[in-house]
Each structure stands twice: as structure tokens, then as C-alpha cells.
Amino acid sequence: MSPALIAALPFLGALLPGLMIRAGRDASALVTGAATLLALIGLLTHLPAVMRGEVVTAQFTWLPALGLNASFFIDGLGMLFAGLILGIGLLIILYARYYISAQDPMGQFYTYLLLFQGAMVGIVLSDNILLLLIFWELTSLSSFLLIGYWKHLPEGRQGARMALAVTGMGGLALIGGMLILGEIAGSYELTVILENREAIQSSDLYMPALLLILLGAFTKSAQFPFHFWLPHAMAAPTPVSAYLHSATMVKAGLFLMARLWPVLSGTEAWFYIVATTGLVTMVIGALIALFKDDLKALLAFSTVSHLGLITMLLGFGTPMAAVAAVFHIINHASFKAALFMTAGIVDHEAHTRDIKRLGGLRRLMPVTFAIATITALSMAGIPFLNGFLSKEMMLEEASHTVWAGSHWAVPALATLGALLSVAYSFRYIVHVFLGPERDDYPHHPHDPGFGMWAGPALLAALVIVIGVAPWLVEPLVRSFAGAVTAGDLPDFHLKLWHGVTPALYMSGIAVLGGAALLLAHGGLARLWQAAPRPEAKTIFDTVVDSAARAARAFTDALHDGAISRYLAIFTVAAVAVAGISFLGGSFAAGGRALLAVEIIPAIGWLLLVVATLTIVAVHRRRLLALVLMGVVGVMISLGFVYISAPDLALTQLTVEVVTVILLLLALNFLPKETPRESGAAIRLRDGVIASVVGLGAAALIYAIMTRDVSSISQFHLAQSYYGGGGTNVVNVILVDFRGFDTFGEIIVLGIAALSIFALTEALLGGPVSRRLVNWRYDMARAGDRHPLMLVVATRALLPIALVVGVFIFLRGHNQPGGGFIAGLVVAIAFVMQYMASGFAWAQARQNFHYHATIALGVLIAALTGLGAWFNGRPFLTSDFGYITIPPLNEFEWATAIAFDVGVFLTVVGSVMLALASLSRIARRAGETVNLEPMDVDPSKPGGRSERQER
């Protein structure tokens, strides 16, 4: 079976248990087991080839741009780990079938488990380090789900998050390390990297790569000081603990170190970092394990300790140590998984895992007792069990390891670790199973059914077989270890009796000392409880919580919601960026001569400046500020006239009128004064910013306006008549050369009006509506709402204004004018009627639908543009010609006029819709509707019309 398929099978299988759970829990377990078994069989078919030293590969191109390929290979190391993962996986699936209760969603559990299994198999079979990274992160994610499986338990949630944070951090470091490794080796393919030992170790980047990769490995394999997450991950259901946190996932770090052993090991840095970390972890883990009363915590810390042991062996960097490491990986997986399962059985049956509440179980649970004893003794390193063999090898290697010139440091500490290991192993047997039977178990315990103990029993048998007849597995170990050391294997034989060696003495000390330690356990435990020690969870929680608080404080301070501050930062940034960039280039002043200052423009200019400065001074009085803005607008319009831009002037003027009127109407509902919100310092700051920005903008404009440039407008001037059919080049630009821009802009106008309408609807449907209803007008009203003079004047003006509008529209193509301006003029004429006689009165007399007007305008403009398609031309291509209507003269027609009609309609509709929206607000605020056009009507007897309705 292809290695890729082996890795894929669990993922494919992961789809099944969630579905098959509908057919019952057995079916769910069965499909899970079947997927695993199939993968295992597929793997084992390669065993003979791997034993011969061959490497089975499969490769698919995935992301060549990155050097990421879906390439897999099975060598000895991959075979070992994949075998462990799938083999133990099978036993765990069986065990979990009986462990997971009926209330828990078992399909989900098996799905997560298979996802994890696939990720794990992926790691160990990857031939591409980026692919390995993907699977690596997937194990973190799937273990997050598995640890948090009992989501109602706070320990589960917190443990899951802690594991994710710590291993996630390691994973990110690993990404960095792998990227560097790829950089040095020039490839992300493992097989290539493994051949580049010299290049890697002599590179300047070796140290950063090593540190980052080790950070990844240490966090995953719970090495000190990152060991703290593992015990908290024990909140997971026991099958998960047994599988992930003893047999497989925590060994991923070891796998990585073993995998990269040929290229990374052998340097001083490797030895001191890896071996020391392993040694420290081994001792500390064992020490803590001794004092844990929770069975799973005890086993968790013992796992930490044993992982440290293996790490230390890998850190030694000698081939023989690597052999010992590989052998211990096998042995540890067998006895520790079994031990976890026995702990789970005890918990399942007695409803507690607290050693203080247990004891005397040997008669009640004889089978469990037997399994636990065999495996715990193996963990302690007692002869005839497999743990003994690899522990002896470890002690042997430790005994001749020199650490910083010291010959005794490593052996002594290794012996201490072994001694503590014996103590907690014995404790597991003695304090749980031996001693008097109790009558206060939370639940009366007895041995579980066969399904639950079959798995651990099988492992216990394996423990004995390997322990008694190690030569049986020697070829396997040789093949596996050969993959670690890249073929450079020492001559070794696995056997029970090595003669009287230093290791045997150390072993003896460990066993006796461990037994003695257990006898003194009670007193020591009290001492341990009394001693101050850092509580990892508290520290971790504090760190994360304060990081979150700091993040919150930082984010809230930065985004404090003050728009004035945001804009201040924006403008300062713009000016600074522009200024600095300006200095990076060279600047030559433009050569255009300045116009002479004449007296009238100078007065206008002075008015503009004064009005602007006055706005700054009186801006809190909004009405006044608005009036002054009108002055500014008029002066700008006149400025356009002065510099010969009549179209701009007309547009500006009409836009000013419409905006000021709309703003006035809106201001009606707003406070008339702006409250003073910022202190003097802030106002000074803002003043400085505004001045600098203003001066900067002025300087920029001056620099631009004083230079000549050959621009595309020459073409527009030349083509306006011949190509565009109009002599007013501004209008031809608007409706033809750049008609598409105009098309966009009328749409902007239309959208704005629709948005104002929608906004008004939303306002009137919300809490604002109540405020409006209860609103009391806070200013004195003029006695005359609809003054006679205004009414009469606007009535008279209406036809004139409409004619002017039409006139401006029609002359647009050749003279200043056009649809946009005409639309505004007509809109103003209507607006005047509304102002004079009230909105409702006026609307009742000219009822056209504003939405429709806008839509129609846009549609006409768009369809005019589309018309060109039928002429075989692009969108908005104009056409013009001449027609003669008999009694009259020859007329010029242009499709641009139809486009301009669209513009006209959109403008009128938009302004009127905005006005209508404001009037709706006014109505809600209690504005009455007058039935007569004016308040005082001299043509009526009595003169005064009072008829109004709400």
C-alpha cells in the first residue's frame, strides 16, 4: 500500500464514525478500528522491505512554488512510529468503546481520534518538512479537540487551551526553524536535508535553526520548562491520555529529534541543550510524579520523566545512545499505554483516581492488578521486563558521559532519576492495589469486561516477551535505530545479562533507594506539600490573562473612538510621509508667470480668508458657521469665474445653494451650539496640525499651478468639436471623453439619496422616533411660517427657473451648462416651493416619485451608453449628426444629450429625495401640514388661514 494512502486512510476513515454512530456504538467503533487496521496492514506489508534497509516512497507534486510536495517515505524510524501509532491505536479504539459512556457523543470522539491518528502517521511518514509541519499543527489541533472533549468540564477547556497555546507556540517556532533549515539545505525534502550534515552544521544559521526546531520538539514532548501542559491535558478522557499523552503525540518531539539526528546532533550545542534538558526533565518529572495523588497525574509526570530520559539519550549524540533511545521508545509506549488504561479502569470502576481513596484493590480487581503490576515493574526497571533492558542501556550510556568536565554529574543524576522512577512505580502498585481492602470506595470496584482489559493485557504480555527474550526484537531495533543514525550502527546485542557493569550497580541503587523512598513517602509528602513551589497553571493563566488584558488596554487606547484624533493622526501621517518623500527628490520651481493682483479679486480673496478664519472662531455656533460656509462657497464660485471656468462656477454655485439649504433643514433638528469637548492643549495641537496641513496643501498647489505641463487636455480641446460634437469642452469631457466618470458620479449621487432615504427609514423605525415625537422646539419661531412674499416670489420664479433649467440643459454642449447644472437649477426651483409653502403642500401639487426619477436617470444614462453596442462601438460612444425639421433650421443632435437627460433626472431625483427624507423627520417631530399655500392670504376674507393638520 502506498505510504500516502497509509497516511490518508485515517483521514478518510474519520468521516465514518460520525455517520455510523447512527447504527450504534459498536458500528462506530468497528469502522474506526477497520480504518486503523487497514492502515496497519498496509504498513506491515512494507516491513520486510524496511527490514532489508529499503525505503518505500510515494510522491505527489502539491505546491511546487513553495517546494511543498506531498511526499511520503517509510524507513525504519517511520515504520517504528507508524506501527506504534496504528497498533496502539487499535487497542485504544477497543478500550474506548467500553470507556466512553453512553451519554457522550462517541462518533465525535472516534472522528477526532482518527483525525489525530492520521496527523500523527503523517508526521512520521512525511518526506517533506513543510508537509511534516502541516501534520504537526494538525496534531495540535486534533488534540485540542480531544482534550476539550468533555466541554462541560473547566479543566478540559483550560487544559485544551493550554496545550494548544504551548504546542502551538512550539509549532510556530518549528515553522521558523524548518524555513531556516530549508534555506540552508536548499530544499524542503527530508532526504535531501539529511545528506547535508556538513553544510547545515557549518552554517551561521545552524544555531537559530537548532533552537527553533528544539523549541518545537521540547514543547511537543513536554520537556522542562514546557512540561506543565501535559498534566493538564489529562483532563481528557483516559483513552486520549493513554494514546496521545503517553504513546504517540508527546513522542512526536522525540521523533523529530530522532529524524533530524543525523544532521543536527553531534555538536556541542546539541549535546548541552538536548542532553541537559532531557536530564533535568527526567529528574524533575520523576520527583513531581512521586508526590501526585491523582493516578493520571502520577502517570503524566512519569511520562514527562521518561520523555526526558529519551531526550537525554538522543542528546548524547552517540549511536549507542540512539539505539537505547529507540528501544526505550518501544518499551515506554508498551508499558505506559497499558498503565494509563489500568488507571482508567480503576477510575471507571471505583469512580475515583485519588490514590488516597484507593488501596487494597488486588482482590477486587485481580486482572487489573496483574496487568498494572507487570507494567509498573517494567516502568521501575525490574529484570525480566522490557523496561529493565532499556534502562540498563541508558544507565550504561550515562555512566560514561562527561558533562562540562564532570564525570559524575550525569551518572549521578541519571541514577537519581531511575531511583525516583522506581519509587513512584512501586507506589502505583502498593498504594493502589496492596494494603487492606476498604469499604469507602465511591463505587464498589470489580474487574471490567474483557473488552476493556484485553488491550492492556496484550501490552503487558509484550512487556514480558521483550523483557525475557529481547533477541526477538533485536532485528527490529537494529533496523529502526539504523534509520536514526543513518546506518552508522555500533555492534550491539540486546540481552538480559551484561555482566557486572556500572549500570548494574546504578540499577541496584535505584531499586533499593526507590523502595526506601516509598517507605518514607508519608513524611516526604507532607514536606513536599509544605514546600513552596511554582504552580505552573497559575503562572500560565496569569501570563495569558495579563497578556489579554494588556492587549485589550492597548487596543482600546489606540481605538478610543475619537474621530478627531483618528483624523489628526491621518493628516499628520499624510503630511509627514509627503514631506519626507519630497525631500528625497529634487525640486525645480515652475516657470509660469504669476498674474498681477487686481483690486477686486483681492477683495474677494480677502473675504474668503476672513470668512474661513471666522468659521474657525465661531464654529460652535452652527448656524453662523453655515452662513459663513455659504460665503466661502460663493467666493470660490467667483474665483472660478475669475479664472475663466464658468461651468465650474455654475456647478459650484448651484451645489452650494442645495447643500446649504439641506444643511439648514438638517440643522433644524440638531443642537445649535457645538459643545466644547476638548481642552486648550488639544485645541492648540489641532490648530498646529491644521495650520501645517493647510500650509502644506497650499505649497503643493502653488508648486503645481506655477508649472506648465503638456497634458491630455490638449487633445480634448482639439477634439471637442470634431470628435465630440460640442464646443463646450467641459461639457464634452463630462458627457463624452470622460462620460464614464460622470456615469459613476451620478450613481454616487443616486446612492447617496437612496442611503439618506434608507437612513431616515431606519431612524424613524428606531428609538430616535420616540425622541422626535417628544421633541420640543427649543428656539423662537418666526411668526410667519409661510410668508406671503416668499410664496409669491417663488411662484413667479418657478416657471422662469424651469425655463432657465431647460435653457442651461440645451446649451450645455456648446455653452456653459449641461445636465448636471440644469438638474440642480430645477431642483432649486422646486426646493424653493417647498420652503415657501411647506413640503407636504408642495408635494401634493407635483407628485412624481423621486426613487423612480433617480432610477430612471441612471437607467437612461446606462441605456444610452449601451446603445453604442448596437452600433458596434464601445459603451458610451457618442454619435451626432444634423437633422432638419422643415420649417426650422438644421439642428444638431447628439446621443450625449440623452446621456445628459439621465444626468439631469438623477440630480433632480436625488436632491428631492434628500429633501423628502428631511421632511419626513420634520413630520415625525410634529411639523404640521398646511392646507393653504401661505399663512396670510390677502385674497381671502380675514386674511389668515389657520387650517392645519398634523
Report how far Cα 614 is from the mean position of its chain's Cα atoms: 49
- Output 461 or 697, the one with its CB closest to another protein: 697
Task: Say if residues 494 and 327 touch (Cβ distance below 8 Å).
Answer: yes
Least separation in angstroms between residue 90's CB and another protein is 25
Please tell me the number of Cα atoms within 13 Å of 547 on its side-chain side: 7
- Whether the CB-CB separation of 602 and 561 falls below 8 Å is answered with no
Least separation in angstroms between residue 273's CB and another protein is 20
Cα–Cα distance measured from residue 901 to residue 818, given in angstroms and rounded to the nearest whole number:
9
**For 352, what's the count of Cα atoms within 13 Å in the CB-facing half-sphere?**
14
Rounded to the nearest whole angstrom, what is the least distance from the CB of residue 437 to another protein in the complex?
Answer: 36
Q: Are 885 and 844 in contact (CB under 8 A)?
A: no
Q: Are 263 and 200 in contact (CB under 8 A)?
A: yes
Q: Which residues pair with 930 in a beta bridge?
A: 948
What's the rounded Cα separation, in Å, for the pair 125 and 191?
Answer: 12
Question: CA 138, CA 122: separation in Å to the nearest integer?
Answer: 9
Return the number of the residue (45 or 555) whose C-beta is nearest another protein: 555
The x, y and z cell numbers of residue 280, run together, are 533535568
Cβ 569 to another protein, closest distance in Å? 5
In the complex, minimum distance from the CB of residue 599 to another protein, in angstroms, rounded to a whole number: 29
Judged by CB, which is closer to another protein: 226, or 316?
A: 226
Q: Which is nearer to another protein, 539 or 758 (CB)?
A: 758
Nearer to another protein, 12 or 607 (CB): 12
Q: Which is nearer to another protein, 718 or 800 (CB)?
A: 718
Kindly state the smallest distance separating residue 172's Cβ from another protein, in Å: 4
Which residues are paired to 413 by β-bridges? none
Question: Does residue 588 sit in helix, strand or coil?
Answer: coil
Q: How far is the CB of 375 from another protein (least distance, A)?
A: 34
Nearer to another protein, 429 or 861 (CB): 861
Q: Which is nearer to another protein, 183 or 598 (CB)?
A: 183
Most distant pair of Cα atoms in the chain: their distance = 135
Whole-Å CA distances, 663 to 286, 638, 676, 775, 834: 78, 22, 21, 19, 15
What gap in Å lies between CA 389 and CA 94, rounded to an integer? 29
CB count, 10 Å around CB of 179?
15
The secondary structure of 217-236, three-state, reads HHHHCCCCCCCCHHHHHHHC
Q: Are 314 and 265 in contact (CB under 8 A)?
A: yes
User: What separation in angstroms does the CA of 115 have from each of 14, 35, 221?
Assistant: 6, 12, 20
Cα separation of 205 and 182, whole Å?
A: 11
Three-state DSSP class for residue 335: helix
The CA-atom distances, in angstroms, between 209 and each of 215, 220, 420 are 10, 17, 34
Query: Min. distance of Cβ 718 from another protein in angstroms?
Result: 4
Q: How far is the CB of 7 from another protein (least distance, A)?
A: 13
Q: How far apart are alpha carbons 103 and 813 in whole angstroms?
A: 81
Round to the nearest angstrom and report the end-to-end CA distance of the chain. 85
Q: Which is nearer to another protein, 137 or 686 (CB)?
A: 137
Q: Give the Cα separation of 587 and 584 in Å (integer).
A: 10
For residue 942, the minimal CB distance to another protein (Å) is: 44
Residue 674, classed as helix, strand or coil, is coil
Cis peptide before 411 (omega within 30 of 0): no
Q: How far is the CB of 256 from another protein (least distance, A)?
A: 16
Q: In angstroms, give the least distance from the CB of 99 to another protein.
A: 20
Beta strands 68-74; 880-884: pairing state: unpaired
Whichever of 63 and 519 has its CB closer to another protein, that residue is 63
Q: Measure the CA–CA gap between 452 and 99, rounded to whole angstroms.
A: 7
d(CA 819, CA 730): 12
How near is the Cβ of 71 to another protein at its closest, in Å?
13
Sign for the CA dihedral angle at 116, 117, 119, 120 comes to positive
Shortest Å distance, C-beta 48 to another protein: 33
Name the grid cell of 181. Answer: 533549515
439: its cell numbers: 469499604
Cβ nearer to another protein, comparing 213 with 494 = 213
CB of 852 to another protein, least distance (A): 6
Please, which residue, 268 or 890, has the CB nearer to another protein? 890
Q: Which is nearer to another protein, 669 or 880 (CB)?
A: 880
Minimum CB distance to another protein smaller for 387 or for 750: 750
CB nearer to another protein: give 556 or 598.
Answer: 556
**Closer CB to another protein, residue 54 or residue 892?**
892
Closer CB to another protein, 290 or 905, in the complex: 905
| Residue 715 CB-density burial (10 A; 0-12 exposed, 13-18 middle, 19+ buried) | exposed
Residue 240: CB minimum distance to another protein, A = 16
Distance CA 851, CA 311 (A): 75
d(CA 389, CA 378): 9
Residue 625 beta carbon to another protein: minimum distance, rounded to whole angstroms: 17
Nearest C-alpha neighbor of 77 from the set 202, 252, 227 = 252
List the one residue out of 328, 144, 324 whose CA is nearest residue 236.
Answer: 144
How far is Cα 654 from Cα 826, in angstroms, rounded to an integer?
Answer: 10
> Of the two residues 33 and 118, which places its CB atom closer to another protein in the complex?
118
The nearest distance, CB 585 to another protein, in angstroms, is 3
| Beta bridge pairs of residue 272 | none
Find residue 944's DSSP bridge partners: 936
